[in-house]
Structure 1
Amino acid sequence: MTTATGYSSASGAPTAASLASVGSGNGQRATGWEQTGTQSVSPRPAAQLPQRAAETTAQNPWPVSVLSEKFYGAVERWPAAWVTGQITQINTRRAGSAYITLRDDFEDIAMEVNGFGRFAAAASQFVQGDRVVIHGKANLWMKRTSLSLRGDTILKVGSGGSLKAMIDELRKRLKGEGLFDQEHKLSLPEFPKTIGLICAPQARAEGDVITNVNLRWPTVTFKVAHVHVQGEQCPGEVVQAIKQLDADTDVDVIIVARGGGSFEDLIGFSDEQVVRAAYACATPLVSAIGHEDDWTLLDLVADLRASTPTDAAKRVVPDVNEQSQLIEGAIDRMRLRVRSRVENEIRLVEGYANRPSLTQPHTMIEPHQRVIDDALQRLDIGLRRIVDDAQLTIEKAHASLTALSPQSTLDRGYAVVQSSDGHVLDDASQVNAGDNITVTLKKGVITATTTSATV
């Protein structure tokens, strides 16, 4: 198993192959193996089974239980040891028992540690991320041939240099640079057409996202980039996938999805290069790593953090049924408003149609006609007064002219005497005997010649 292999690499304990070679040595070691353990080895008679690993053949193999028992016997002879590392998973929920995943401080190697009684009570004080020293003895669970360390003592050595502390320091540094600032985060498109999905090949997270998105918004298409989601290859491949999908103009939003896992399994999504790639991404990016309680630095820099891949699917696309209801509701409101507007206009037109100005149009003219009639009457009266005044003035002027006219004098019997050149004669000295004179009477004119003139 992985944990057994990792433990062998870290401590130098023998592997399955080395155990088999030990079994092919002297007879005393083989006899010891046969007598080791308290569990039943096999229902087959021991005489029919090979005594040593080298004696097994394809026709006469060892049952799994026999090989597992021989592993168990070998592991039991290993001495106890002190081991240090960081707790990436711890479960102390069951009273009197503790199950821990311990990770190497420098290598990507982990091992399972379990313990009971006083060890479990002491382990309950620790949390994920603590760096500890554990004393224990190797133990093989024969039912699954699973290798672990049975702890009896656990001590805390501080958080300095631990993986969690290093990530926390990176988080503080990146936060100081503004990578997690809210104003940098982009809004998700309301109706995305193409979703870029970064996940492991054939992962459950991929199926969760695609299935839930298609159920909610069937018109969406996907562009999937498969990457390693843990281990040394994870950060580089995730960075490359983000850049690739960000450069694709068809992609409207990117989802980085992974199912749950231990702290060490998710460590690739706290890599500085991954965080900076997400920060530089011009396409809205959603982080859907692990479960609700899991966190990575990618969650902090992402434009949206979803608690699970399924939650991401629900948050990047609308629900087609909800949108249909919204559209139907909007149409109903539009119809109601249009109907109300039309009814209001009809009432307004009917009100206009019932006005006297339309039912009896001449009533609109009557006030103006009255004004015109009154004006004409006032004009006639005014003109008559003006004419009367002018006639009176003329009569007065005529009377004055008549009174002042020479004709009136003539009418009274007087005459006007004029010389031949037309001058009026008012002095007899102005006339000599023999001058022609003209005498104007009331009626007619007399031309005469003077015979004498007396002053």
Structure 2
Amino acid sequence: MSDLFTQLDASTESKPLPVRVSDTTQDNPWPVAMLSEKFASVVNSWPAAWVTGQIQQINARRPGQVYMTIRDNNPAVNVQMDCVFFGPPAYEAAKYSQGDLVVLHGKANIYQARTSLSFRADQIHHVGTGGIKEQIEMLRKKLKGEGLFDTERKIELPHFPHKIGLVVAPGARAEGDVITNARLRWPSMEFAVKHVHVQGPSCPPEVVRAIAELDADTTVDVIIVARGGGAFEDLIGFSDESVVRAVAAATTPVVSAIGHEDDWTLIDLVADLRASTPTDAAKRVVPDVREELDLVAQTRARMMESLTRKVEVERQRLAAYANRPSLTHPQTIIDKPLQFVRDARMRMNTAMNFTIADASSSIEKLHATLTALSPQSTLDRGYAVVQNANGTVVDTASALHHADTVTVTLKTGKIDAAVTAVHE
């Protein structure tokens, strides 16, 4: 091999290089660097120009450098151009975004390391919003006015879906990203996959039909519409009005996973959940079985701890009840009432004795009074009581007449007598 390179070097050195491109031959070609330099010298001689177009892609990640792709603003013309900005123009270009319609000033430029042609711009001016983006913005305002993007319309995703409907391009990386990541999180997850075109004129009707079919499938719990990243124009199928209305009409929750995090389409606004990437959609739709098992284990542990604590509290309460005197010495329950009855009986006896003694004393006094006032006491002293025939006590002699019968009551016994004489 080294001998071959030596021969090639020797043959090259032995022949002078052609001056003009038309003089090059198979045996005497120009080196790549020389041809690139010739291209650069020709391109550098071209005059500066003004050019207008729509920003299709822009990369302003490095300070002082902006790389931009602009395309013809006529959607029917699929022509684009790479543009570069360095220094102060780059800081101005960094203010722009995808979809802006701009006018640039600059010159054609050859990057000799790769012999790549680009437009090195030194000025940029804003003209307006590109036609496609402007149409999408008008549609966005229209659909928003109808309430299709309202939060109240969005359907909550099921926490444990059993089957996921997936709308994706055939053989797309997005399909593998969703299925692989979903089954890593929940191995038994089922899928109903609908393959569709994800760009071009066939995209909207196929996506609408796929969403309708999956929505009609009662076994599908959630629908994911997924696509990898791409240029703004590649994603416009997902901003089509029919696609947006199909998502809004679906009774099954719909998740949009179109492009990368910086990409956007109208389906993102109407979807019940917007995922930044297909992988993110799988992670947000499907729970992690390990996390759920850990949650179940933690919940069971908390339940067992709570149950054990309650059982221990009740055990301590029962032990306290068992040690109470009312259970260890049941008779103590009636000790107080019994003592109360005893005390009450004692107080009642005392009260009764006092009452009886008081009554006896009163009776004695009344007896003595009655005895003192009793006619019998008078009779006992030798006096007698005279009563006429009617039983009336005779206290004056004039109340009697001769021959009246009277009854004389003595200390003991009575005497019936007749009045023989009355002395007044």
Counterpart position of 2:403: 434
SS of corresponding position for 1:417: strand
2:132 and 2:340 mapped to 1: Cα distance? 102
Q: What is the Cα deviation at residue 275 of structure 1?
A: 2.5
2:68 and 2:393 mapped to 1: Cα distance? 163
Deviations 1:98-139 (A, max 9, x none): 7847366233x6346468999xx99x95864344689999xx
Deviations 1:280-309 (A, max 9, x none): 444322110112222212112222211111
**Structure 1 contact 419–437 (Cα < 8 Å) conserved:** yes
Counterpart position of 1:318: 287
**Structure 1 contact 131–158 (Cα < 8 Å) conserved:** yes
Flag the 1:273–1:39 CA change in 2: closer, same or farther, 3 A: farther
Counterpart position of 2:352: 383
SS of corresponding position for 1:231: coil
**Structure 1 contact 136–150 (Cα < 8 Å) conserved:** no
Flag the 1:445–1:133 CA change in 2: closer, same or farther, 3 A: closer
1:256 and 1:341 mapped to 2: Cα distance? 50
Map residues 316-395 of structure 1 onto 2, 5 A cutoff: 316-395=285-364
Q: What is the Cα deviation at residue 264 of structure 1?
A: 1.3
Q: What is the Cα deviation at residue 445 of structure 1?
A: 1.4
Q: Which amino acid aligns with 1:290?
A: G
Deviations 1:54-111 (A, max 9, x none): xxxxxxxxxxxxxxxxxxxxxxxxxxxx99754434679999997847366233x634
Flag the 1:239–1:372 CA change in 2: closer, same or farther, 3 A: same
Q: Which amino acid aligns with 1:304?
A: L
SS of corresponding position for 1:225: strand
Counterpart position of 1:279: 248
Map residues 253-332 of structure 1 onto 2, 5 A cutoff: 253-332=222-301
**Structure 2 contact 198–237 (Cα < 8 Å) conserved:** yes
Flag the 1:328–1:367 CA change in 2: closer, same or farther, 3 A: same
Counterpart position of 2:369: 400
Q: What is the Cα deviation at residue 381 of structure 1?
A: 1.1
Q: What is the Cα deviation at residue 453 of structure 1?
A: 2.8
Unaligned runs of 5+ in 1: 1-35, 41-81, 138-148
Q: Which amino acid aligns with 1:158?
A: V
Q: Choose from 78, 81, 86 the match for 1:110.
A: 78
**Structure 1 contact 98–116 (Cα < 8 Å) conserved:** yes
**Structure 2 contact 73–130 (Cα < 8 Å) conserved:** no
Counterpart position of 2:113: none
Map residues 27-66 of structure 1 onto 2, 5 A cutoff: none
**Structure 1 contact 87–103 (Cα < 8 Å) conserved:** no
1:226 and 1:439 mapped to 2: Cα distance? 150
Q: Which amino acid aligns with 1:254?
A: I
Q: What is the Cα deviation at residue 311 of structure 1?
A: 1.0
**Structure 1 contact 242–281 (Cα < 8 Å) conserved:** yes
Query: Are positions 1:197 and 2:169 aligned together?
Result: no
2:312 and 2:261 mapped to 1: Cα distance? 55
The normalised TM-score by structure 1 is 0.68
2:325 and 2:85 mapped to 1: Cα distance? 104
Query: Are positions 1:129 and 2:99 aligned together?
Result: yes
Q: Choose from 35, 46, 56 the match for 1:88.
A: 56
1:97 and 1:354 mapped to 2: Cα distance? 87
Q: Choose from 381, 400, 415 the match for 1:412.
A: 381
**Structure 1 contact 254–284 (Cα < 8 Å) conserved:** yes
Deviations 1:331-370 (A, max 9, x none): 1111112112222222222233333443334444444443
**Structure 2 contact 161–286 (Cα < 8 Å) conserved:** yes
Deviations 1:125-160 (A, max 9, x none): 5864344689999xxxxxxxxxxx966687878334
1:441 and 1:163 mapped to 2: Cα distance? 154
2:421 and 2:139 mapped to 1: Cα distance? 158
Q: Report how many residues are paired.
A: 366
1:176 and 1:229 mapped to 2: Cα distance? 27
1:39 and 1:192 mapped to 2: Cα distance? 69
Flag the 1:392–1:93 CA change in 2: closer, same or farther, 3 A: closer
Flag the 1:116–1:368 CA change in 2: closer, same or farther, 3 A: closer
The normalised TM-score by structure 2 is 0.72
1:382 and 1:153 mapped to 2: Cα distance? 127
2:83 and 2:368 mapped to 1: Cα distance? 153
Q: CA RMSD in A?
A: 3.9
Flag the 1:337–1:372 CA change in 2: closer, same or farther, 3 A: same
Flag the 1:452–1:133 CA change in 2: closer, same or farther, 3 A: closer
Map residues 193-272 of structure 1 onto 2, 5 A cutoff: 193-272=162-241
Counterpart position of 1:63: none
